[in-house]
Amino acid sequence: MCGIVAYIGDGEVGSILFDTLKRLEYRGYDSAGVAIKSGDEIVVVKAAGKIGNLEKVYREMGSPGESMGIGHTRWATHGSPTDINAHPHISGEIAIVHNGIIENYLELRESLTEKGFEFQSETDSEVLAHLINYFYQGDLIMAVTRALDEVEGSYAIAVLAASSPYIICARKDSPLVIGLGKLANYLASDVPALLPYTRDIVRLKDGEIAKLSKETVEIKNRFGELHPADVERIDWNIDAAEKGGYSHFMLKEIHEQPRALRETMAGRISEFGGDVRLDLGIDDEEIRNLERVSIIACGTSYHAGLFAKYLLPIVSGLPVEVELASEFQHLQLRPRTLVVGITQSGETADTLLALKKAKMCNVRLLAITNVVGSTVTNLVDSTIFTRCGPEIGVAATKTFTSQLVTLILLAICLGRARGFLTPEQGRKILIELSRLPALVQKVLDRRDSIKEIAELYADSSCYFFIGREFLYPIALEGALKMKEIAYIHSEGYAGGELKHGPLALITDFTPVVAIATFGRKIQSNIKEVRARGAEVIALASENDADIDKIANVVIRLPDTRPELSAVLCTVVVQLFSYYVAHKLGQPIDKPRNLAKCVTVE
Ligand code: M6R
């Protein structure tokens, strides 16, 4: 997730761009840049690091520029966080900033290189600058329209040309907001950046393209027809606006999951071939010779690892062992093991140390992380990025579901390369996987009834979460969320384990969240706890006709494959814990004693 901004008007362009960029820093930053019109030229200043440092460089240059400019704060997804990869990207007299992923950038890059364009960066975004330059003959909106016709993927862009008096912007599957000022207009990825300047905003819709001058904003729809701007008056304060109107970052991040999952999958799926493209840097022969996978992780990422323990054997044919990083004993590693470190931050000390130990065994190391340029990426042989944008709430939410989806992609990729999974079997999983973001949205749309149920049980002093197979790690995750943010003692258990001890703790009214979207055996576990007085809140699939007879409360979820229903159930346990914590008035985004990133052993 990156942030883009633009300004056109008589104000001090540089100051306005830097101020609005800083207000988007919560979207992540590893590099930033601005392009500002100065006479007949465009001045570009960009660098890796914080926006404040970049502003200093700009001031030292004498704050050049007037009338209009564009800016970008980057959270790397393609190419490492360096000065060259920072936006804006330039081609001739064109400057662009881009947020999103251009899926067909490799093909476009090849054809533009043949046409004589020289690429400076490793980013997918640079192809847009060259494409627009290729089509530009004095009409910037026409050039942008033609370039976007060639592009597959998601984008929010702002474009300047040295010889054009306008800023052009467009969006598809990436947010973009226009701010309407007095003899000035603004652009940003999100509303909070604009609130000090204006409260009249226009949310650009998918497929729309707009032309901004200081006096006017012209918006064309996907068919090229002009239409009046739909102006919205914002009455939130800045703090609420940064959270997009949500009361906490955690809730915002829970709601970002459909988009996050789309980004995780973007450009990686070949439904037709039933295959997945992941740049693992391992040749097919080595993949065929693998004998096992060993996963190392902590906390929520460890739960993602446990999910893989159920998934990989049936999809890739490889057995999996999962180790808590802090307990990892490297002597267990045998040759032909693929070691996978899962860490959203890429900085968890326990995970890094365990991976260093694993490295001494001469095995292949792979990381799954959300943070480009993080320490883990320098330690391992290859990395898969989950691409879900920065997560600010201490409780991991969207990064966890993106890890689950990444592991499904990895399992298919390994299974196909090893000849364990047929194209038809791969295709079946992938078709259903493509529906997943929409199914997650359906679960989010039921938030009000989940809230009502959570508030009903909010005064309980102890919770149980139970599940089996793919859903067992989700039970652990639900219990962890409840402990972390609501400060209520919770136990996550495999359904079959209850009778081996924990049943003794079940008394009248103990809430048991039974994650039961598939499998019959969990129903026996529900009956066991009901017989001891528990109140069962069951998560069940839409077509489960029996569950109402045995559970006290049922939360229905769309029907899908078992491994994908784990993702849907995760969203429910996240919302459930969130609403319990909210009812209790806990500081959800910053729970006591916890840090987002644990850099001590
Ligand atoms: O950044 P990592 O994924 O390596 O972090 C591991 C754990 O510290 C983390 O998942 C922690 O358990 C979360 N706060 C859970 O919500």
Residue of 250, 295, 296, 298 with the most ligand 1 atoms within 8 Å of its CB, for mutation: 298
* Max mean pLDDT range (52-56, 347-351, 460-464): 460-464
Atom of ligand 1 nearest to the CA of 369: 3
Atom of ligand 1 nearest to the CA of 396: 16
Question: Could you tell me if the CB of 396 is within 6 A of ligand 1?
Answer: yes
Q: Is the pLDDT of residue 1 over 70?
A: no
Average pLDDT over residues 283-306: 96
Please report the pLDDT score of residue 307 as a whole number.
Answer: 98
Question: Could you tell me if the CB of 301 is within 6 A of ligand 1?
Answer: yes
| Least confident range of 335-344, 382-391, 471-480 | 382-391
Q: How far apart are CA 282 and CA 295, in angstroms?
A: 17
Task: Write the DSSP string, 324-383.
Answer: EGGG--GGG--TTEEEEEE-SSS--HHHHHHHHHHHTTT-EEEEEES-TT-HHHHHSSEE
Please report the pLDDT score of residue 400 as a whole number.
Answer: 98
Structure pTM?
Answer: 0.75
Please report the pLDDT score of residue 384 as a whole number.
Answer: 96
- SS3 assignment, position 101: coil
346 touches 399 (CB < 8 A) = no
Of the CA atoms within 13 Å of residue 532, those in its CB half-sphere come to: 16
Q: How far does residue 594's CA lie from ligand 1's centre (Å)?
A: 10
What percent of the chain shows pLDDT beyond 70? 97
Mean pLDDT taken over the chain: 92
Name 441's Cβ contacts closer than 8 Å, sequence gap at least 6.
Answer: 258
Average pLDDT over residues 42-71: 88
pLDDT digits (tens, 9 = 90+) for 151-167: 998 899 999 999 999 99
Beta bridge partners of 169: 158, 210
* Nearest protein CA to atom 2 of ligand 1, as residue: 343
What percent of the chain shows pLDDT beyond 90? 75
Distances (CA, A) of 561 to 242, 262, 568: 36, 18, 11
The answer to whether the Cα torsion of 549, 555, 560, 562 is positive or negative is: negative
254 touches 575 (CB < 8 A) = yes
Question: Could you tell me if the CB of 324 is within 6 A of ligand 1?
Answer: no
CB atoms within 10 A of CB 327: 10
Distances (CA, A) of 208 to 105, 142, 178, 261, 523: 21, 13, 12, 23, 50
pLDDT digits (tens, 9 = 90+) for 554-598: 999 999 999 999 999 999 999 999 999 999 999 999 888 887 777
Q: Is the pLDDT of residue 75 over 70?
A: yes
Please report the pLDDT score of residue 240 as a whole number.
Answer: 62
Name 32's Cβ contacts closer than 8 Å, sequence gap at least 6.
Answer: 21, 46, 47, 49, 50, 51, 54, 71, 72, 73, 74, 86
Please report the pLDDT score of residue 535 as a whole number.
Answer: 96
Please report the pLDDT score of residue 241 as a whole number.
Answer: 62
Question: Could you tell me if the CB of 351 is within 6 A of ligand 1?
Answer: yes
Question: Could you tell me if the CB of 394 is within 6 A of ligand 1?
Answer: yes
Which amino acid appears at position 158 of this protein?
A
Question: Could you tell me if the CB of 299 is within 6 A of ligand 1?
Answer: yes
Q: Give the closest residue to 277 by CA, choosing from 426, 398, 425.
A: 426
Residue of 248, 250, 253, 300 with the most ligand 1 atoms within 8 Å of its CB, for mutation: 300
Please report the pLDDT score of residue 239 as a whole number.
Answer: 64
Catalogue the active-site residues. 2, 596
Q: How far apart are CA 416 and CA 206, in angstroms?
A: 35
Distances (CA, A) of 173 to 97, 153, 224, 311: 16, 8, 18, 30
Q: Is the pLDDT of residue 529 over 70?
A: yes
412 touches 429 (CB < 8 A) = yes
Residue of 344, 350, 369, 394 with the most ligand 1 atoms within 8 Å of its CB, for mutation: 344
* Nearest protein CA to atom 9 of ligand 1, as residue: 299
Residue of 323, 353, 368, 598 with the most ligand 1 atoms within 8 Å of its CB, for mutation: 598
Question: Could you tell me if the CB of 343 is within 6 A of ligand 1?
Answer: yes
Q: How far apart are CA 582 and CA 11, in angstroms?
A: 42
Question: Could you tell me if the CB of 368 is within 6 A of ligand 1?
Answer: no
Q: Which domains does the chain have, with CATH numbers?
A: 3-241 (3.60.20.10), 244-434 (3.40.50.10490), 444-588 (3.40.50.10490)
Atom of ligand 1 nearest to the CA of 350: 4
Please report the pLDDT score of residue 518 as a whole number.
Answer: 92
Higher-pLDDT residue of 195 and 436 is 436
Of the CA atoms within 13 Å of residue 310, those in its CB half-sphere come to: 18
Q: Is the pLDDT of residue 314 over 90?
A: yes
CB atoms within 10 A of CB 379: 18
- Cα–Cα–Cα angle for 441, 342, 362, nearest 5°? 150
Please report the pLDDT score of residue 65 as a whole number.
Answer: 79
Question: Could you tell me if the CB of 348 is within 6 A of ligand 1?
Answer: yes
Please report the pLDDT score of residue 81 as a whole number.
Answer: 80
Cis peptide before 88 (omega within 30 of 0): yes
Q: How far does residue 301's CA lie from ligand 1's centre (Å)?
A: 6
Q: Give the closest residue to 260 by CA, choosing from 84, 95, 169, 385.
A: 385
pLDDT digits (tens, 9 = 90+) for 87-126: 999 999 999 999 988 989 999 999 999 999 999 998 899 9
Atom of ligand 1 nearest to the CA of 299: 12
Please report the pLDDT score of residue 338 as a whole number.
Answer: 96
Burial (CB count <10 Å: 0-12, 13-18, 19+), residue 161: buried
Atom of ligand 1 nearest to the CA of 348: 4
| Least confident range of 171-175, 202-206, 317-321, 477-481 | 171-175
Question: Could you tell me if the CB of 393 is within 6 A of ligand 1?
Answer: no
Please report the pLDDT score of residue 440 as a whole number.
Answer: 98
Alpha-carbon dihedral 360, 365, 368, 373, rounded to 10 degrees: 70
Q: Is the pLDDT of residue 419 over 70?
A: yes
Of the CA atoms within 13 Å of residue 491, those in its CB half-sphere come to: 17
Please report the pLDDT score of residue 442 as a whole number.
Answer: 98
Question: Could you tell me if the CB of 99 is within 6 A of ligand 1?
Answer: no
Distances (CA, A) of 400 to 75, 173, 369, 490, 571: 18, 22, 10, 19, 10
Q: How far does residue 323's CA lie from ligand 1's centre (Å)?
A: 14
Please report the pLDDT score of residue 600 as a whole number.
Answer: 67
Alpha-carbon dihedral 98, 101, 102, 106, rounded to 10 degrees: 120
Please report the pLDDT score of residue 329 as a whole number.
Answer: 83
Q: How far apart are CA 158 and CA 188, in angstroms?
A: 9
Q: How far does residue 297's CA lie from ligand 1's centre (Å)?
A: 9
Please report the pLDDT score of residue 238 as a whole number.
Answer: 67
